[in-house]
Amino acid sequence: MRPAKFGSGYLGVLALALAVALCGAASAAEPVRPAAPAHSGQPSRPMQWLRRMNHALTALDYEGTFAHSQDGKVQMLRIIHRVKDGVVSERLQSLDGSGREFIRRGSKLTCYLPDKRMVLVEHMLPRSSLLGDIPVINAQTARFYDIREVARMRIDQHATRLITVMPKDQYRYGYRLWIDRSGLPLKIQLWDTRNRPGGHVIEQIAFATLEVRSHIPGSAFKPGISTAGYRWLRTDASVPRSVRMPAWSAEWLPPGFHMAMSAAQVMPGSPGPVDHLVYTDGLASVSVFVERHTETASRGPVVESARMGASYVFSTLVDGHRVTAVGEVPARTVRSIADSVRAAGKTSLPRLPAGPFAHSPEP
């Protein structure tokens, strides 16, 4: 993911932080055959396979190389994942010459960006991953998605099950996942079911190699570059607030979305604290950042938007504050949430039974 250029310095920094978003790969698969009954001892329901996948991705020690495909471009990357004494360590490394590395130790994420001679240090949520948003399905989330096992197939001599997680409305994207016996996904596709018959792939991860390791040394999580002369940018640790009393909130949300986090933090390039809200349905998520609009920033455009791979960013002004929303959901979802953000105590917006898409066609 490459940071885009914006009129607002804050959006530029936000774009830089999005460099750790969904990464992936392309791989040739053998012909599909219809799904058959599960063997004894193996999960038989799609939900069970998704739970097994999430356990494997978060609990196992593994190393792999994969290609990330989006917008007709393919980038090779390497991922290392380890859990030791309850602490997660991850390293995501570009293999295509940029030299970019992202190293995570617990909740601390360090982004090494040699092409910008910059290091960005920020914080990650405990259950997040450098592989991006992997489907975590529960009974509540399942109400808004159609989850099926549609086939069994082989990818690079590995037997896999193809599980699809498709949305029941136009507010979110779906997934197609090829899961092997260990529970690790050999291929992941983010899927847009709107506008085209049968839908289309937005972004893909496919592993060329993926192996479970019995031991991964701490040295595997050291950067392979020298940072002498680099500029360091750090975000202060977030100060969580009760989600019941946030300073700001969105007055419109897609069905099933709720506020999962409300925090105040200092971000690089921002003159003061930034309110950070996270809305999710348990699978898809949208982050909202609210900061006071300064006189210097007022020379920039009032509304800005950009697409970075599967992520859409939209920024606007609300009551003298810059509101920026970003998420791997359709553009209209991000825009509608951002446009509905109001300070606590402000009059609520009128609610439309069908949501803001009712009379506004998708471009």
pTM for the structure as a whole: 0.77
* pLDDT tens string 217-250: 999 999 999 999 999 988 765 545 444 456 899 9
Mean pLDDT for 54-71 is: 92
Domain residue ranges of the chain, discontinuous segments joined by +: 20-27+44-221, 237-343
Q: Which two tokens stand for residue 184?
A: 């690790």
Between the CA atoms of 331, 352, 287 and 291, what dihedral angle is there, to the nearest 10 degrees? 110
pLDDT value at residue 15: 40
Query: pLDDT tens digits for 177-230?
Result: 999 999 999 999 999 988 777 788 999 999 999 999 999 999 999 999 999 999
Compute the average pLDDT of residues 149-157. 90
Question: What is the arithmetic mean of pLDDT over 314-331?
Answer: 92
Alpha carbon 38 to its chain centroid, in Å, reads 31
Over 60: is that where the pLDDT of 20 sits?
A: no
Tell me what the pLDDT averaged over the chain comes to.
Answer: 78
d(CA 144, CA 316): 29
- What is the Cα–Cα distance from 35 to 47, expressed in whole angstroms? 15
Which CATH homologous superfamily contains domain 20-27+44-221? Lipoprotein localisation LolA/LolB/LppX (2.50.20.10)
Question: The sheet that has 285-292: what strands, in order across it?
Answer: 239-240, 258-265, 274-280, 285-292, 321-327, 311-318, 304-308
Superfamily of domain 237-343: MucB/RseB, C-terminal domain (3.30.200.100)
More confident: 36 or 29: 36
| 160 has a pLDDT exceeding 60 | yes
